[in-house]
């Protein structure tokens, strides 16, 4: 996997850069080009059953014929959704036909793998079936989802089907939001929530059955749960575990759990025809926009779903479609709806609402809509073929979001929502998150569960040893692990907080520095999606308002400032809209703050304010000294540990404010056209030496980067050697015992 990864990484970086450059040029030319484009040859598309050498462009007429054929089907489907009661709809799902067989196989086995097409009813029905046949008498039915939106929307749907209030019999829990009660018997939740529950309830005694849904996504938390649940089931004969997966992974899953049965739900809910782009498209945004317009103008009724890698592409796609349609005379209106995880949830909900009569919906989504969300009425799916993955580079110890080609598993899922490249250039399945991500959080969690030797933990696909060691190193830097790799007192406290290790460390450290009140707000602000908004046509006005809040030394302090002003306004909604701030996001910050404060209270960590923002900056430095950079030119910095050039993000308070500090620390790094540091705070060079002695000393400025790198390597190997010795000693003790 590692060598594959390296190849994809290179491809990914290049294609992103190339794509951005092209896009900029293209956007400038957009208006000009459009005049000369004829509808018929907008995009060459190929029928799947045609051989390559004979391939022809599908012309306008053919796509019309296809559209008419789809329209017939569409009428049948939407009629059905409108006329049938929820109960009747339930009985129409493929899973209903095999309800008894499914329950029988569950009764006879502790663990099963369940495979079925998207839309067959796995997520919404299995929990109800288990409830209907009595499993909830012994405990809750839990169902995990890799995505927050999915957990919420599915719980809502099931509560409607069961005719109860959301949060009563059927509820959901995601980080910082618990919508369950004493009464809850069916609980949808993110996999992260179940993982945290296993900290306090290692045998998951509250549950009589656990469904691990969308397991083929192989999210980090799902992979860790696999290892844990395998043990739990062997301890608890009465617990049922159902793992749902795509066909491709089912054998592997079955093997992992000890050759358990694979149950296949027969039947596809609707037929799918695929068309592949004849050549590799140069600009996937452009190609998708053209395709959507072609469908909209040429094809019969039915909504469109478009897959894009990320928020920025989605926004551009939506705009371009809108713009081009407005340039075309007589085009029917189209309701264009974006969806991505950072979008406020009321706007997300819009994609599920039916558009006004006769208006076609076009949903532009990230892979959020691949399996987790079902939007009724979708007849056409346009797939850009790319997705965004968070990738951890253990060599430089950094996470970055990058664009990658999707895997075959993704493409199949996307297709199910409504080949050559497919066979030869796509990986069969995605590289599981556990093999490409920063594992610091997982290490912390497993250590606190008493799993001392992580290399021995039963992972389905073990993470690269490099990643594991580097994540341990990161925890050691933060003071969460000692030289033998055991949790320290600080580390034990950090586990209590549902936060990234650096943030929980910062919060706990702030208590000793008497600025926990301020840091608590900053951490809460960092835990919600962006609070500022910049409406179209009011960019300058909103930027000006935003600038007023900016504290020149720090984006973190800017956040603090915004919160304090909002508090002064009496937590007013009007104040938010006056200042172009999302009121909903701010209310969420307040909730998060309260929840974190409750944890602090339970840990006897004082919340107090020192009123001195220099102390606050020093505390930020104490948690982020390993992500420090030093000024090189205007707006340009070099990372102190890696020597990599990195830039201030244009939204940063430090950007273009005339104040260019020598040293800064940053919250995260994102790679788009450049390496951007996001959320930055100016620090004193002496603090770096004081707080990060393993990296920096006062003389450091005299040393070359090579010397610093050598120092870091030797520090690191010393730590690794000590950890190894400690491990050997432990193993010997175990053997002797
Ligand atoms: O999990 P799976 O993909 O097998 O299917 P599901 O999510 O249980 O969806 C079954 C059906 O329930 C879908 O075809 C939708 O019609 C409906 N559903 C819905 O209307 N709203 C949701 N939030 C989820 C499902
Ligand atoms: Mg599902």
For residue 76, the tally of other CB atoms under 10 A from its CB is 10
The tens digit of pLDDT for each residue in 575-590 reads: 999 999 999 899 999 9
pLDDT exceeds 90 at position 735: no
Which one has a higher pLDDT value, 671 or 133? 133
Closest CA to 398 of 650, 671, 16: 671
Measured CA to CA, the distance from residue 667 to residue 626 in angstroms comes to: 10
- Check residue 249 and report its DSSP letter: G
CA distances in angstroms from 164 to 81, 169, 171, 183, 187, listed in the order given: 21, 7, 10, 11, 13
Q: How far is the CA of 416 from the centre of ligand 2 (A)?
A: 12
pLDDT exceeds 90 at position 268: no
Kindly indicate the confidence band of residue 131, based on its pLDDT and cuts at 50, 70 and 90: very high
pLDDT exceeds 60 at position 16: no
pLDDT at res. 273: 62
pLDDT exceeds 80 at position 71: no
Q: How far is the CA of 674 from the centre of ligand 2 (A)?
A: 37
Among 124, 166, 172, 216, residue to substitute to test ligand 1 (most atoms within 8 Å of Cβ)? 124
pLDDT at res. 49: 27
Kindly indicate the confidence band of residue 408, based on its pLDDT and cuts at 50, 70 and 90: low
Measured CA to CA, the distance from residue 600 to residue 587 in angstroms comes to: 20
- Average per-residue pLDDT in the chain? 80
pLDDT exceeds 50 at position 359: yes
Percent of the chain surpassing pLDDT 90: 40
pLDDT at res. 393: 58
Strand ranges (E), 560-608:
none
- Please check whether residue 318 is in contact with residue 396, taking contact to mean a CB–CB distance below 8 angstroms: no
- 346-355, 382-391, 426-435, 654-663: least confidently modelled range: 426-435
Q: From the CB of 186, is ligand 1 less than 6 Å away?
A: no
The tens digit of pLDDT for each residue in 537-546 reads: 888 888 888 8
- 98-102, 226-230, 259-263, 633-637: least confidently modelled range: 633-637
Q: From the CB of 374, is ligand 1 less than 6 Å away?
A: yes
Measured CA to CA, the distance from residue 586 to residue 530 in angstroms comes to: 10
pLDDT exceeds 50 at position 85: yes
Which one has a higher pLDDT value, 162 or 657? 162
For the four alpha carbons of 609, 611, 612 and 616, in that order, the dihedral sign comes to positive
Which two tokens mark 408? 């075959």
Measured CA to CA, the distance from residue 663 to residue 620 in angstroms comes to: 13
pLDDT exceeds 50 at position 56: no
Q: Please report how the helices 220-235 and 440-448 are oriented relative to each other, as an axis angle in degrees rounded to 10.
A: 20
pLDDT at res. 450: 86
pLDDT at res. 115: 93
- Please check whether residue 481 is in contact with residue 492, taking contact to mean a CB–CB distance below 8 angstroms: no
pLDDT at res. 5: 29
Q: From the CB of 124, is ligand 1 less than 6 Å away?
A: yes
Does the predicted interface ipTM exceed a cut of 0.85? yes
Q: From the CB of 123, is ligand 1 less than 6 Å away?
A: yes
Q: What are phi and psi of 137, to 5 degrees?
A: -70, -25
pLDDT at res. 444: 93
pLDDT at res. 428: 55
The tens digit of pLDDT for each residue in 409-436 reads: 677 776 666 544 444 445 555 667 887 7
Q: How far is the CA of 256 from the centre of ligand 2 (A)?
A: 22
> What's the mean pLDDT in 253-258?
93
Q: From the CB of 157, is ligand 1 less than 6 Å away?
A: yes
Measured CA to CA, the distance from residue 21 to residue 577 in angstroms comes to: 35
Kindly indicate the confidence band of residue 692, based on its pLDDT and cuts at 50, 70 and 90: confident
Which one has a higher pLDDT value, 37 or 166? 166
Q: Please report how the helices 440-448 and 465-478 are oriented relative to each other, as an axis angle in degrees rounded to 10.
A: 80
Element containing residue 405 per DSSP (H, E): strand 398-405
In Å, how far from its chain's centre is CA 359?
31
Query: What is the gyration radius of the CA atoms in the chain, in angstroms?
Result: 27
pLDDT exceeds 50 at position 42: no
Nearest 5°: CA angle at 590, between 588 and 591?
65
pLDDT exceeds 50 at position 257: yes
pLDDT exceeds 60 at position 3: no
Kindly indicate the confidence band of residue 390, based on its pLDDT and cuts at 50, 70 and 90: low
SS (H, E, C) 149-196: HHHHHHHHHHHHHCCCCECCCEEEEECCEEECCCCCCEEEEEHHHHHH
Which two tokens mark 487? 């949790």
pLDDT exceeds 70 at position 75: no
pLDDT exceeds 80 at position 561: yes
Kindly indicate the confidence band of residue 291, based on its pLDDT and cuts at 50, 70 and 90: confident
pLDDT exceeds 50 at position 40: no
pLDDT at res. 53: 31
- Please check whether residue 545 is in contact with residue 518, taking contact to mean a CB–CB distance below 8 angstroms: no
Measured CA to CA, the distance from residue 442 to residue 455 in angstroms comes to: 13
pLDDT exceeds 90 at position 624: yes
Looking only at the bridges linking them, the beta strands covering 262-264 and 207-212 are unpaired
Q: From the CB of 119, is ligand 1 less than 6 Å away?
A: yes
pLDDT at res. 437: 75
- Which alpha helices (H) appear in 371-433, and where do they start and end? 408-416, 420-424
Q: How far is the CA of 187 from the centre of ligand 1 (A)?
A: 16
Q: How far is the CA of 586 from the centre of ligand 1 (A)?
A: 32
Looking only at the bridges linking them, the beta strands covering 140-145 and 334-339 are unpaired
Which one has a higher pLDDT value, 677 or 353? 677
Element containing residue 724 per DSSP (H, E): helix 705-736
Q: How far is the CA of 590 from the centre of ligand 2 (A)?
A: 32
Among 78, 88, 98, 121, residue to substitute to test ligand 1 (most atoms within 8 Å of Cβ)? 121
Q: From the CB of 118, is ligand 1 less than 6 Å away?
A: yes
- 338-352, 512-526, 704-718: least confidently modelled range: 704-718
pLDDT exceeds 70 at position 713: yes
pLDDT exceeds 70 at position 169: yes
CA distances in angstroms from 705 to 465, 676, 687, listed in the order given: 26, 21, 19
pLDDT at res. 721: 76
Three-state DSSP class for residue 596? helix
Which two tokens mark 265? 């739900």
> What's the mean pLDDT in 645-651?
86
Closest CA to 553 of 623, 650, 652, 630: 652
Q: How far is the CA of 162 from the centre of ligand 2 (A)?
A: 18
pLDDT at res. 163: 95
**Which residues are 142's β-sheet partners?**
187, 210
Three-state DSSP class for residue 361? strand
Measured CA to CA, the distance from residue 433 to residue 706 in angstroms comes to: 32
pLDDT at res. 723: 72
**Which residues are 89's β-sheet partners?**
none
> What's the mean pLDDT in 221-242?
94
> What's the mean pLDDT in 680-695?
89
Q: From the CB of 376, is ligand 1 less than 6 Å away?
A: yes
Which two tokens mark 334? 């189209």
Closest CA to 510 of 531, 499, 591, 398: 499
pLDDT exceeds 80 at position 46: no
pLDDT at res. 272: 60
- Please check whether residue 212 is in contact with residue 241, taking contact to mean a CB–CB distance below 8 angstroms: yes
């Amino acid at each position: 996997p590692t060598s594959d990864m390296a190849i994809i990484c290179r491809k990914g970086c290049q294609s992103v850069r190339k794509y951005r450059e092209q896009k900029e040029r293209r956007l400038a030319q957009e208006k000009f080009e459009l005049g000369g484009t004829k509808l018929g040859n907008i995009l060459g598309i190929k029928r799947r059953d045609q051989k390559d050498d004979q391939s022809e462009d599908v012309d306008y007429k053919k796509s019309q014929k296809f559209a008419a054929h789809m329209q017939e089907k569409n009428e049948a489907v939407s009629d059905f959704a409108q006329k049938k009661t929820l109960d009747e709809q339930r009985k129409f799902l493929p899973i209903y036909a095999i309800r008894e067989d499914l329950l029988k196989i569950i009764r006879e086995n502790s663990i099963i793998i369940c495979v079925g097409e998207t839309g067959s009813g796995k997520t919404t029905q299995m929990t109800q079936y288990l409830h209907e046949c009595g499993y909830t008498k012994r405990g809750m039915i839990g169902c995990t989802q890799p995505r927050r939106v999915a957990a919420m929307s599915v719980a809502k749907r099931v509560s409607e089907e069961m005719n109860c209030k959301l949060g009563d019999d059927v509820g959901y829990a995601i980080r910082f939001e618990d919508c369950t009660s004493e009464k809850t018997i069916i609980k949808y939740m993110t996999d992260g929530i179940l993982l945290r529950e296993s900290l306090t309830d290692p045998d998951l005694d509250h549950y009589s059955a656990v469904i691990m849904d969308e397991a083929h996504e192989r999210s980090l938390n799902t992979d860790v749960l696999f290892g844990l649940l395998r043990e739990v089931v062997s301890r608890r004969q009465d617990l049922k575990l159902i793992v749902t997966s795509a066909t491709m992974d089912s054998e592997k899953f079955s093997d992992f759990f000890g050759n358990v049965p694979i149950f296949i739900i027969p039947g596809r809910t609707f037929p799918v025809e695929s068309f592949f782009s004849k050549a590799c498209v140069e600009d996937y945004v452009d190609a998708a926009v053209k395709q959507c317009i072609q469908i909209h103008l040429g094809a019969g009724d039915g909504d469109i779903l478009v897959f894009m890698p990320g928020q920025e592409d989605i926004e551009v796609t939506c705009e371009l479609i809108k713009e081009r349609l407005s340039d075309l005379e007589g085009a029917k209106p189209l309701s264009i709806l974006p969806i991505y995880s950072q979008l406020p949830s009321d706007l997300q909900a819009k994609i599920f609402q039916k558009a006004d009569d006769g208006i076609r919906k076009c949903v532009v989504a990230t892979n959020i809509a691949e399996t987790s969300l079902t939007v009724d009425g979708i007849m056409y799916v346009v797939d850009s073929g790319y997705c965004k993955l968070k990738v951890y580079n253990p060599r430089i110890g950094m996470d970055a979001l990058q664009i990658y080609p999707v895997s075959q598993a993704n493409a199949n899922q996307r297709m199910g929502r409504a080949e050559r490249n497919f066979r030869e250039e796509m990986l069969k399945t995605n590289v599981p998150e556990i093999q490409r991500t920063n594992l610091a959080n997982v290490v912390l969690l497993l250590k606190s569960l008493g799993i001392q030797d992580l290399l021995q933990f039963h992972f389905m696909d073990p993470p690269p040893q490099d990643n594991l060691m580097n994540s341990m190193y990161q925890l050691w830097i933060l003071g969460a692990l000692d030289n033998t790799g055991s949790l320290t007192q600080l580390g034990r406290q950090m586990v209590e907080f549902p936060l990234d290790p650096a943030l929980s460390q910062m919060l706990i450290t702030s208590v000793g520095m008497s600025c926990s009140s301020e840091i608590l707000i900053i951490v809460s602000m960092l835990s919600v999606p962006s609070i500022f908004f910049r409406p179209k046509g009011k960019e300058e006005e909103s930027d000006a308002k935003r600038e007023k809040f900016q504290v020149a030394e720090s984006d973190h302090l800017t956040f603090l400032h915004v919160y304090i002003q909002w508090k002064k306004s009496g937590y007013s909604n009007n104040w938010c809209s006056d200042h172009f701030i999302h009121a909903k996001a701010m209310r969420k910050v307040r909730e998060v703050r309260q929840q974190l404060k409750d944890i602090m209270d339970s840990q006897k960590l004082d919340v107090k304010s020192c009123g001195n923002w220099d102390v606050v900056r020093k505390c930020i430095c104490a948690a982020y000294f390993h992500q420090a950079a030093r000024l090189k030119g205007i707006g340009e910095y070099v990372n102190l540990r890696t020597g990599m050039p990195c830039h201030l993000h244009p939204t940063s308070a430090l950007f273009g404010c005339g104040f260019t500090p020598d040293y800064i620390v940053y919250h995260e790094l994102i790679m788009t056209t450049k390496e951007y540091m996001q959320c930055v705070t100016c620090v004193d060079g002496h603090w770096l030496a004081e707080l990060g002695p393993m990296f920096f000393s006062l003389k450091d400025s005299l040393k070359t980067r090579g010397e610093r790198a050598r120092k870091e390597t030797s520090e690191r190997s010393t730590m690794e050697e000590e950890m190894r010795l400690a491990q050997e000693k432990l193993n010997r003790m175990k053997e002797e015992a």
